[in-house]
Amino acid sequence: MSRADLVIQLAEAGAQNDHVKLERTVAALVAEARAKQHHTLADRLSKALGAVAPPSRQAPRSVGGTFLPDKVRDLLIERPARRGIDDLVLPAEVDSQVRELIEEQHEADLLRANSLDPRHRVMLAGPPGNGKTTLAEAIAFALGVPFLTIRYDAVIDSYLGETSARLKRVFEFARSTPCVLFLDEFDALGKERGDVHETGEIKRVVSSLLLQMDDLPSYTVIVCASNHPELLDRAVWRRFQLRLELPMPTRADFRRWLEHVGADRKALGMDPAALARELEGGSYAEAEEFLLDVKRKIVLAKGVPKSIVSHQLKAWKKRFGPKAGVTGGNGDRDPAAQSE
C-alpha cells in the first residue's frame, strides 16, 4: 500500500471516528517510517497513537511494540530483531544476495520510479540449526521493520476451510504493515499437491497460500524456511525470487565463526583451528550451545579453560557420535541461536 493510500485511510478513519482503522493505518505508517530509518517520525506517530487510542485498545501489544489487531493477535508472534547481517557467518553467495535484497528494499522508491519493484519473497532451505531463523531476523533488523512469525499451532485447524481463512487474515494484516513475515517449517503448509497421501483440505490450503503470496506488496518481505524442500509444491518454488541454501558448516566455516564470536586461544586456552576440527559435523546452533556451556563452567568453576573445553568436547563427541563429522547429519536436534 502506497503512502498516499495510507494517508487517505488515515483521513477516512478520523472522519468516521473509526479507532480500529486509525490504529491499523498509523501502525502501517510507523512501520514504513522505520523501514526508511525515519525513527523520530515513527516514535512521534506511535506516541500520538497512544494519546488518542481508547484504553481498551492500547493493550495488549506484541513484544516489539507493533500493534496486532484482535483478528491476528493469536496467529502471529513478533520477535525482537537484535542481530544484523554482519553478526552472521554466511556462505559468500548467500551473503551477497541477501545484501542485494536489503539494498533493493532501501532503494524501493527509486526502483518504483522506474516501474520496478524490489524483490521480497525469499526461500531458505537447509538442515536445522544453521541460521535460517536468524537470517530472517537479520533481514528485519536491516530493514527496521517488525519480525513476525506465523504460529502454526493457531493457524492450522482440523475444520474444513478454517486454516485458509486464518491464513487470509494473517496476509491481510501483512499487506497493511511493512514487515518481515516469517514462515518456519514451511513444508507444513506448502506441500506438494500431487501427493496422493495428502487430503483435499491441504491442497486447498496450498492453493489459498499461493494466491495470498502473489497478492503481497513488495514492502512486505516474506521469508519461508524449510528443512525438507523436496516436499514443497512445485508451484510454491516458482513464487520465490530468492532461493538460498544454508548447508551444514564445514571446518573452515567453524574457524571463521569462532573468530567472529571472539572465541580465541586466550579465552578458551585452545587453538580455534583445532576446536573447529572438533566441532565439524555439528550445526551452528549446537556449536553456540557448546560455547555457552564452556563459558558457564569457566565462570562458575574458575577452572583452567583448556581443561574445561577438553571435558566438554568429550561430551560433544558422546552426544553426536563418531559419524557426525562424516555424514553431516544432525537428526531432529532443537535449533537455537544462529538457528534454523
pLDDT in tens, 52-101: 544 333 333 333 456 678 888 889 998 888 889 998 999 999 999 999 99
Task: For residues 194 and 171, give the distance between their C-alpha atoms in angstroms, rounded to a whole number.
Answer: 25
Query: Given this model, what pLDDT does residue 267 score?
Result: 65
CB 338 within 8 A of CB 88: yes
pLDDT tens string 266-297 = 667 777 888 888 888 888 998 888 888 888 88
Task: For residues 67 and 326, give the distance between their C-alpha atoms in angstroms, rounded to a whole number.
Answer: 48
Query: Given this model, what pLDDT does residue 142 score?
Result: 92
Query: Given this model, what pLDDT does residue 68 score?
Result: 78
Query: Given this model, what pLDDT does residue 66 score?
Result: 62
How far CA 226 is from CA of 132, 182, 266, in Å, comes to: 9, 11, 38
Query: Given this model, what pLDDT does residue 160 score?
Result: 55
Domain ranges of the chain: 3-58, 85-245, 251-327
CB 28 within 8 A of CB 6: yes
Note the pTM of the prediction, 2 decimals: 0.70
CB 143 within 8 A of CB 221: yes
Is the domain spanning 85-245 CATH 2.40.10.220? The answer is no
DSSP label at 46? H
- Closest of 285, 305, 282 to residue 295, by C-alpha: 305
Question: What is the per-residue DSSP string for 195-242?
Answer: -TTS-HHHHHHHHHHHHHHHT--TTSEEEEEES-GGGB-HHHHHH-SE
Query: Given this model, what pLDDT does residue 59 score?
Result: 34
Query: Given this model, what pLDDT does residue 330 score?
Result: 42
Mean pLDDT for back-to-back runs of 10 residues, the chain (340 residues): 71 71 76 73 74 42 57 88 90 95 93 92 92 94 92 74 85 90 82 51 76 90 89 80 93 89 70 85 88 82 74 74 43 42
